[in-house]
Amino acid sequence: MRIARNYLGREIYQSSAMVTTALLGLFAFFALIDDLDKVSDTFGLGALLYLEVLAIPTRLYDLLPIGLLIGSILALASLAQRNELTILRVSGVSGMRLLATLWLIVVPIMAGALVLSEWLTPLSEIKSGEANLTLRGKSGGARMSSGYWFKEPTPNGGTRILNINSLQSGGSVSDVTLYEFDDGQELIAMSTAPEGHFRDETLVLDNVTTNRLKPQALGMLADPEARHPAEPLMQVERQPERTLDTTLTPARLLARVLTPERMSLTTLLDYIDYLNDNQIQADRQIVAMWRKLAYPFTLLVMMTIAAPIGFMQTRRGGVAAKVFIGILLGVGFFMLNQLALNVGMLGRWPAWVTALMPSLGALVLALGTLLYMEYRHAVSRIMQHRWPWRKSPA
């Protein structure tokens, strides 16, 4: 069986690599054509090609399950057309044992997917974000028109809201606005700084201008009879440098930019802890954590889906039909995954249900189909014995 497993593995690896490479090239070409209109004097074609190269690990992360599905169907359909699977079955290898062999074949791909998910994709996303900041002046991600917003408690029991207009390469920030509230959630100060940087778990702001409200300011502003206060209600302070003790780090700033599924698991868990500590909703990040945990399992599901399609005995020309079915199933699974994510977030489903439901549903359906193909003759005999007037299925 080891010889058969090595032969099956070689066929599946070659077909999957060929299909995945073709998909990568196709998607990269479309993305390049779509971004050609952004080429200018300040953003040349070389810079665009550099960004496309940095995007390859991310695209591979997205396309690997579909590439494995189509490549496995192509390899198994070719083996079935040459009657090589029939020889294995005649030699006493059952369909479930053949499926177990396919699961063993996919284990090295799952190990590679883990490396891709935890190291290559996050690293390429960080490099791509820094390159976008340097070359195009923006990084995309979770940025509102007013910039990036962060909330955290202060040592005196109040709240601090930090607005960063733009992130710079190396973890520096620019155009920073700081809103400080007391324990009663009343605004006490607003500070602005043109730039800042992180140093030893602190945020250092340069050339800070602080507008600090005096304690009686809110009462006087709320009093309609207070026309001319005896003293100014606001005090303006200027500091060449101000140091803030903060829970923010350059890694957490980049986590705000990255799509949750593109983070490494350790970075994602750290960012979830930060959001929970500051009483910020982390549902999207928790779902992303479950989806990252389920990502290697998704490859196992793709192989299970490919098995019954590849095992089907077809006449001449059946390989193309099976590949077409594989493409439809791959696109359908991708759409179902996105639909489950959106519906789960809107319906506030448990995170593990949102992340695992499409894969578990596809796995049960594929296993049921394979079991029916394996034992359909026994089922037919049972049905014919109990209901002899019914025609047995073909």
What angle separates helix 2-35 from helix 56-81, to the nearest 10 degrees?
140
Claim to verify: residue 214 and residue 293 sit in the same structural domain: no
**pLDDT tens per residue across span 114-134:** 999 999 998 888 788 777 777
Claim to verify: residue 238 and residue 288 sit in the same structural domain: no
Q: What length is written for the chain?
A: 394
185 lies in which domain range? Answer: 148-257
In a domain, 142, yes or no: no
pLDDT higher than threshold 50 for residue 346? yes
Q: How confident is the model at residue 66 (pLDDT cuts 50, 70, 90)?
A: very high
Q: Cα–Cα distances in Å, from 137 out to 90, 123, 129, 133, 174?
A: 64, 20, 10, 4, 12
In a domain, 297, yes or no: yes
Claim to verify: residue 112 and residue 157 sit in the same structural domain: no
> Closest Cα partner for 260 from 87, 121, 385?
121
Q: How many domains does the chain have?
A: 2
In a domain, 275, yes or no: no
Claim to verify: residue 18 and residue 125 sit in the same structural domain: yes
Could you tell me which residues come within 8 angstroms of residue 223 by beta carbon, excluding any fewer than 6 positions away?
none
Last residue of a domain, one of 257, 292, 317: 257
Contact 78, 313 (CB under 8 A): no
Claim to verify: residue 126 and residue 184 sit in the same structural domain: no
pLDDT higher than threshold 80 for residue 149? yes
User: What would the DSSP string read from start to end of 248-311?
Assistant: --HHHHHHHHS-GGGS-HHHHHHHHHHHHHTT---HHHHHHHHHHHHHHHHHHHHHHHHHHHHH
Q: How confident is the model at residue 394 (pLDDT cuts 50, 70, 90)?
A: very low
Last residue of a domain, one of 257, 276, 311: 257
SS3 content of the chain, % helix, strand, coil (to 5): 65, 15, 20
In a domain, 6, yes or no: yes
Claim to verify: residue 190 and residue 250 sit in the same structural domain: yes
In a domain, 394, yes or no: no
List the beta bridge partners of residue 237: 210
Residue position matching structure tokens 């973890």:
171
Phi, psi (deg, nearest 5) at residue 288: -65, -35
In a domain, 306, yes or no: yes
Contact 250, 267 (CB under 8 A): no
Claim to verify: residue 290 and residue 236 sit in the same structural domain: no
In a domain, 361, yes or no: yes
CB-based burial, 173-209: b 16+ in 10 Å, e otherwise: bbebbbbbeeeeeeebbbbebeebbbeeeebbbeebe
Claim to verify: residue 170 and residue 245 sit in the same structural domain: yes
Claim to verify: residue 241 and residue 320 sit in the same structural domain: no
Strands in the chain per DSSP E: 148-153, 159-167, 173-181, 187-198, 202-213, 234-245
Q: What is the mean pLDDT of the chain?
A: 84
Could you tell me which residues come within 8 angstroms of residue 202 by beta carbon, excluding any fewer than 6 positions away?
243, 244, 245, 246
Claim to verify: residue 293 and residue 190 sit in the same structural domain: no
Claim to verify: residue 46 and residue 165 sit in the same structural domain: no
Distance CA 359, CA 348 (A): 19
| Percentage with pLDDT > 90 across the chain | 35
In a domain, 391, yes or no: no
The residue type of 327 is I
**pLDDT tens per residue across span 223-278:** 666 566 667 778 899 999 999 988 888 878 877 777 888 888 988 998 899 888 88
pLDDT higher than threshold 60 for residue 141? no
Verdict on whether the full-model pTM lies above 0.85: no
Claim to verify: residue 210 and residue 118 sit in the same structural domain: no
**pLDDT tens per residue across span 198-236:** 888 889 999 999 998 877 766 666 666 656 666 777 889
